[in-house]
A and B are shown apart, each in its own frame.
Chain A
Amino acid sequence: MRNSRYIGYALGAALAAVFPLVSGAYTQQVAVTTLIYMTLALSWDMLLRSGQLSFGTAGFFGLGSYAAVLLFLNVGVNPITSILLGGVFAGVVALLVGLAVLRLRGMYFAITTLALASIFTVVVRNIPSLTGGPEGMMLPTCVFNGNTAQVYWLVLAVAILAIGMSEVFQHTRIRLALTSIRNDERVAKSSGIHVFWYLVFVFAVTSVLQGIAGGAYAHVYGFVSPEGSFNANFLLLPLAMALLGGVHSTWGPVVGALVLGVLGEYLKLQIPYGHLLVYGGIIVLVTLFLPQGFVGALRARVRQFQSGRGS
């Protein structure tokens, strides 16, 4: 049973890895954005599993972007290392912020994290000597000189890292701790789980993933700006993807990202200025009518079928 899971992982990874050999540059470009959003969707869901709704993905994404670009331009770190260090920077900031913010729950936590992106934007905009101010910064070249196949492998590695982290969270005792915190914090605490430190840990880890995604995005497009890097789309799209696919699982956000990544590209061609309306609509409809998402609904159906056959 356990082995078949690993075989599945290997097959999936191999399929994803040979994808650029059989597809054109445009398809690969779509895949690159999809994989970046998939990483964000997964990292957002990983924190949600502990019952904390964060609106901070765009904030840490942007921090990672800026940190990676600044390290690359000013310190001369090579792109890949700068992306990883960008993630570490976002994680350290998240750790410090989390020590304070994770004392909050529910709407107070959600809105404070929503404010984070705005605060980061203001800070970045107001230190022009370091960050280029409102205009942002251009990189001299994109990573791998913009070779889409290599860029694809880079973001695929990032997405696989996210999937791997998420699976580790799902198949170790971390899952039990987070689920128990989500269900009832008092019970979790009385069964010996250090609630606060678990939350800080998860908040920091997910922010590292968001920062890495941001760094990769900045290097792929060779550009950072306050409005672009902290854009609300990096919050809206991952949320819609994770919700549509189904929260509290690894494969929900992955499936959601694949579906919406492809569908979103089609919509973008059909309604260039309003396709984001659909994402808002998806969030509303899924929260109202399909709170478990596609994968959750499918699982429930399968379980129903199995129990029906068993009896």
Chain B
Amino acid sequence: MTLLRKLQQRRYVTALVSMIVLVLLAVWKPYALIEGIQRGGVYSLIALPMALILGIVGIINLAHGEFMMLGAYFAYWLGVYTGLDPLVAIIPALAVFALIGAATYLLTIRRALKAPELNQLLLTFGLAMMAAQFANLMWTSRPLKPHLSYVYSSISLGSLRFGTYAFVYTGAALVLLAGLLLFLRRTRLGKAALAVGQNPRGAKLVGIDVNRTYMLIFSISIALVGAIGALFLTRHSVFPAVGSPFTMKSFCLIAMAGIGNLPGVVWGGFALGIAEAFVLSFRGYGGWADVVFFAVLVAVIMTRSYRRRVV
């Protein structure tokens, strides 16, 4: 009982501290706060499908960002040939990348499930390199971006004037989080997936088709990240190397939240997005913003490993 109360108290304290930090930031650097919430949306949105694979299939997909990059290219070329808006292209992207995900699973991942973890890492690293080089070969390294007028919408709030479109990412991240949680807790497949994630042998014993669950989760995740690529394209340009930083940032968020903790990924994404925007807001030091993620990654992983005292 006392332990429970302590835990609640600690949570309460964390919430209070973060509220104070946010209010101070809102007064001191309101633009950094707005920008941070928008950035954080992109990060958590992209990290969620990776968290799903890592939590349930137990494989770290180093080609995650590359699938997003391919999704963005898909939306771009669909737009060029058929005039479809990237936002509409999300729907065909879902379908196409579900198939690509299933094919990737059947051809490669499935064979590596029983292999040592190092082989899985090497395999997905190889896939990432193939995807990036394929894009480079097909479409060169030139950044591509469609012209969309609606992304430049902005509003004025008192003396502040800022772009509103990027809040789409924040919204999408929250919707995706809610959707995934509902899927995992309410649907049959979701519950099966959770069971497989916790204990594949136990799940098999009670009659769950583990292999099929792995395949479905993998292709759902790739479908989502492909569709996110289309959404990403509305505001960012696409080039072969655009995906790889997101792979690392996504892993960083998942390591921070702990494997299997989806809400933690989203909160972590916002926290890091705001921290990055804060560093960026200092003129002349903006270049250091990229280090924020890695510094946090290293710090968090280190504290965790020391707390567990492994080896």
A115 touching B121 by the CB < 8 A rule?
no
- A-contact bits for B14-34, CB 8 A (1 contact / 0 none): 000000000000000000000
> Contacting B125 at CB < 8 Å: which of A105, A122, A283?
A283
**A123 / chain B contacts, CB cutoff of 8 Å:** 291
A108 touching B122 by the CB < 8 A rule?
no
Binds A, one of B3-11, B91-99, B296-304: B296-304
CB-contacts of A172-202 with B (<8 A): 185, 189, 195-196
Say yes or no for B160: interface residue by CB 8 A criterion: no
User: What is the interface of chain A mostly: helix, strand, loop, or mixed?
Assistant: helix
Decide yes or no: A273 and B136 within 8 Å by CB, A114-B248, A280-B129 being known contacts.
yes
Residue of A at shortest CB range from B118?
A53
**B305 / chain A contacts, CB cutoff of 8 Å:** 103-104, 108
Query: How long is the Cα–Cα vector from A274 to B123 in the complex, in angstroms?
Result: 19
> Contacting B130 at CB < 8 Å: which of A108, A126, A195, A284?
A284
Query: How long is the Cα–Cα vector from A189 to B310 in the complex, in angstroms?
Result: 13
Query: How long is the Cα–Cα vector from A283 to B294 in the complex, in angstroms?
Result: 26
Residue of A at shortest CB range from B107?
A288
Query: How long is the Cα–Cα vector from A122 to B276 in the complex, in angstroms?
Result: 14
Decide yes or no: A53 and B129 within 8 Å by CB, A103-B302, A274-B136 being known contacts.
no
Least distance between A304 CB and chain B CB atoms (Å):
23
Residue of A at shortest CB range from B302?
A100
Query: How long is the Cα–Cα vector from A17 to B268 in the complex, in angstroms?
Result: 56
Say yes or no for B140: interface residue by CB 8 A criterion: yes
B306 touching A277 by the CB < 8 A rule?
no
- B-contact bits for A104-147, CB 8 A (1 contact / 0 none): 11111011101100110011011000000000000000000000
B122 touching A53 by the CB < 8 A rule?
yes
A288 touching B137 by the CB < 8 A rule?
no
A122 touching B287 by the CB < 8 A rule?
yes
Least distance between A241 CB and chain B CB atoms (Å):
13
B291 touching A122 by the CB < 8 A rule?
yes
Say yes or no for A239: interface residue by CB 8 A criterion: yes
**A232 / chain B contacts, CB cutoff of 8 Å:** 129, 244
Query: How long is the Cα–Cα vector from A108 to B255 in the complex, in angstroms?
Result: 8
Residue of A at shortest CB range from B131?
A280
Residue of B at shortest CB range from A106?
B117
**B291 / chain A contacts, CB cutoff of 8 Å:** 119, 122-123
User: What is the interface of chain B mostly: helix, strand, loop, or mixed?
Assistant: helix
Residue of B at shortest CB range from A189?
B311
**B123 / chain A contacts, CB cutoff of 8 Å:** 283-284, 287-288
CB-contacts of A236-278 with B (<8 A): 236, 239, 243, 271, 273-274, 276-277
Residue of B at shortest CB range from A51?
B118
**B134 / chain A contacts, CB cutoff of 8 Å:** 274, 277
Select the residue from B123, B127, B305, B311 with max chain A CB neighbours within 10 A. Answer: B311
**A189 / chain B contacts, CB cutoff of 8 Å:** 311
Number of A-B contacts (CB under 8 A): 120
Decide yes or no: A118 and B108 within 8 Å by CB, A103-B305, A107-B60, A284-B130 being known contacts.
no
Say yes or no for B119: interface residue by CB 8 A criterion: yes
> Contacting A243 at CB < 8 Å: which of B111, B122, B244?
B122
Query: How long is the Cα–Cα vector from A274 to B240 in the complex, in angstroms?
Result: 12
Query: How long is the Cα–Cα vector from A259 to B40 in the complex, in angstroms?
Result: 45
Residue of A at shortest CB range from B122?
A287
CB-contacts of B265-311 with A (<8 A): 287-288, 290-291, 294, 297-298, 301-302, 305-306, 310-311
- B-contact bits for A273-303, CB 8 A (1 contact / 0 none): 1101101111110011001000000000000
Residue of B at shortest CB range from A199?
B311
Least distance between A109 CB and chain B CB atoms (Å):
9
Say yes or no for B251: interface residue by CB 8 A criterion: yes
CB-contacts of A186-225 with B (<8 A): 189, 195-196
CB-contacts of B97-118 with A (<8 A): 108, 111-112, 115, 117-118
A288 touching B112 by the CB < 8 A rule?
yes
Query: How long is the Cα–Cα vector from A112 to B299 in the complex, in angstroms?
Result: 11
Residue of B at shortest CB range from A272?
B137
CB-contacts of A46-102 with B (<8 A): 48, 51, 53, 55, 100-101
Say yes or no for B171: interface residue by CB 8 A criterion: no
Least distance between A248 CB and chain B CB atoms (Å):
11
Least distance between B111 CB and chain A CB atoms (Å):
5
Query: How long is the Cα–Cα vector from A273 to B137 in the complex, in angstroms?
Result: 5
> Contacting B133 at CB < 8 Å: which of A122, A243, A277, A288?
A277
Query: How long is the Cα–Cα vector from A110 to B59 in the complex, in angstroms?
Result: 13
Say yes or no for B143: interface residue by CB 8 A criterion: no
Query: How long is the Cα–Cα vector from A125 to B119 in the complex, in angstroms?
Result: 33
Query: How long is the Cα–Cα vector from A140 to B126 in the complex, in angstroms?
Result: 38
Least distance between A192 CB and chain B CB atoms (Å):
15
A118 touching B290 by the CB < 8 A rule?
yes
A236 touching B129 by the CB < 8 A rule?
yes
What would 12 more interface pairs be, CB under 8 Å, given A108-B255, A280-B127, A287-B126?
Answer: A105-B310, A106-B117, A112-B301, A118-B248, A118-B294, A232-B129, A243-B122, A273-B136, A277-B130, A280-B130, A283-B129, A288-B123
Interface, chain A (partner B; CB < 8 A)? 48, 51, 53, 55, 100-101, 103-108, 110-112, 114-115, 118-119, 122-123, 125-126, 185, 189, 195-196, 232, 236, 239, 243, 271, 273-274, 276-277, 279-284, 287-288, 291
Some 24 contacts from A to B, beta carbons below 8 A apart, are A100-B298, A100-B302, A104-B301, A104-B302, A118-B245, A122-B287, A122-B291, A125-B287, A243-B122, A271-B137, A274-B133, A274-B134, A276-B133, A276-B136, A277-B137, A279-B133, A280-B126, A280-B127, A280-B130, A280-B133, A281-B126, A283-B125, A284-B130, A288-B111
